[in-house]
Amino acid sequence: MNITPAEAQAKKENAQNTFLRQPHKWVPCSPKIGVAIIAYGGKNYFDVQDDFELLTNVVDNVLEKIPVDIICGNSISINPDREKIMDGHVQTTLHSDGITLEHRQVMHMTGDDYPALIADPDGFVENVLLPRKLPFIFEEGLEKAAKRFEALLMSSYNQKFHAPAKLLPYVMEKYAPLNMGGGAGRCSTPGDVIMDAYRGFKGTMTDLRRHYSEMKELADVIWEKNMVDHMTGYTYKDFHFPSYMTHIPCFLNPKQYDDLCFKYFKQQIENMYAGGGKLYMLSEGNWKNVIHFMNDLPQDSVIFNCEDDDICEAYDTIGAKQIIMGGCKIVTTRLDTAEACKDMTKRAIDHCAPGNAFIYATDKAWCCKGDCNDNLIEAFAFAGEYGKY
């Protein structure tokens, strides 16, 4: 049964007041709609890819039992055809369980490549890094290579005709959450780009010691060339915000974070904030070295989803300045008792809710078999009751 208009309105106001740090009636809960929900229903991605009724059955089986106040889009979006089309030369693959996405990081830039990349970023990517990454496309013949990329683009396009693409409108109509995702702009930092696109984890950790001045120079080039206007000129209405999945910050000391990330990040946030936006930030890893930087950003400009940080310590450090999200550790739901999960939930709500800007959520996405489980459902249901002000 769909939610009533009055219930939908109450949910919307409650969520909006949380983002505005105004008094509200209950702590909003934010489930992360991901493929683990499909696994919880005993199915895999291939079972539901073209079966919308089956997909909604497994999703309803979870969402009907928990509060669905705020979501950030729909993370059930996989393109398993890409791997076949590219003969396995992709970094993200779908495990044979049909659920788990696996990341294989194979980088093609070396520490000696900085000067060439800095001098001509586009040319170096196209003419040097791309042939290193996909050598076979320059050996198989022009027509075959072109047909391969035509198939690749079409496979992405065809995703919108599969059942998961229709899930978000269904969830919005049935449960009426506030979907904070989908806001304009692309937020990232040069430091994250260096790690994700060019040097990988191992290379980046080495370069922080051996190529630091070149990293800083490259960060400036990436910023000026590709990022300076990414969050500029937008206005944000209806509480749709851009997202940022952070990767490198948890590995940096404060000076490195400032040099490679924050000085650029701050400009992006101030530009976005001028248009009325906030940033949803999945703060990967432990931010204890750099979390205090969030206090230098505009009031409530960031929705800080804690991953490995202790939620109460994060709240004590930045909770007066930014919106805090988290409190439910997936590993606890997987490995501990239902009672322990309730205690974890209670502790987070008791400590963080009094600031009027706390959203109950998991630390990580629901992306592996077992991430969605009975304890998780019980913890969310408990948060819905216990979190009433």
Partner 1 sequence: MEYTFRDIMNYMKNDKEWDAPEEVRKQVDGLVMTAFRL
Q: Residues interacting with partner 1, by CB under 8 A?
A: 82, 86, 89-91, 122, 125-127, 129-131, 133-134, 137-143, 145-146, 149-150, 152-154, 157, 197
Cβ at position 142, least distance to partner 1 in Å: 5
Do 372 and 62 meet the contact criterion of CB atoms below 8 Å apart?
yes
CA 171 vs CA 3, 40, 45, 55: distances in Å: 11, 18, 18, 11
Q: What is the DSSP string of 251-312?
A: GS-HHHHIIIIIHHHHHHHHHHHHTT--EEEEE-S--TTTGGGGGGSPTT-EEEEESSS-HH
Do 180 and 303 meet the contact criterion of CB atoms below 8 Å apart?
yes
Residue 137 gets which letter from DSSP?
Answer: G
Q: Which is nearer to partner 1, 17 or 155 (CB)?
A: 155
Residue 203's H or E segment, with its range, is: helix 200-210
Cβ at position 138, least distance to partner 1 in Å: 6
Q: Which is nearer to partner 1, 82 or 321 (CB)?
A: 82
Q: Which is nearer to partner 1, 228 or 338 (CB)?
A: 228
Cβ at position 153, least distance to partner 1 in Å: 5
Q: Which is nearer to partner 1, 149 or 389 (CB)?
A: 149
Q: Which is nearer to partner 1, 38 or 129 (CB)?
A: 129
Greatest distance between any 2 Cα atoms in the chain: 66
How many angstroms separate the CA atoms of 310 and 364, rounded? 13
Cβ at position 216, least distance to partner 1 in Å: 23
Cβ at position 218, least distance to partner 1 in Å: 16
Strand partners, 283: 306
Q: Which is nearer to partner 1, 8 or 130 (CB)?
A: 130
Q: Which is nearer to partner 1, 25 or 186 (CB)?
A: 186
Do 101 and 78 meet the contact criterion of CB atoms below 8 Å apart?
yes
Cα separation of the two ends of the chain? 26
Cβ at position 201, least distance to partner 1 in Å: 16
Cβ at position 91, least distance to partner 1 in Å: 6
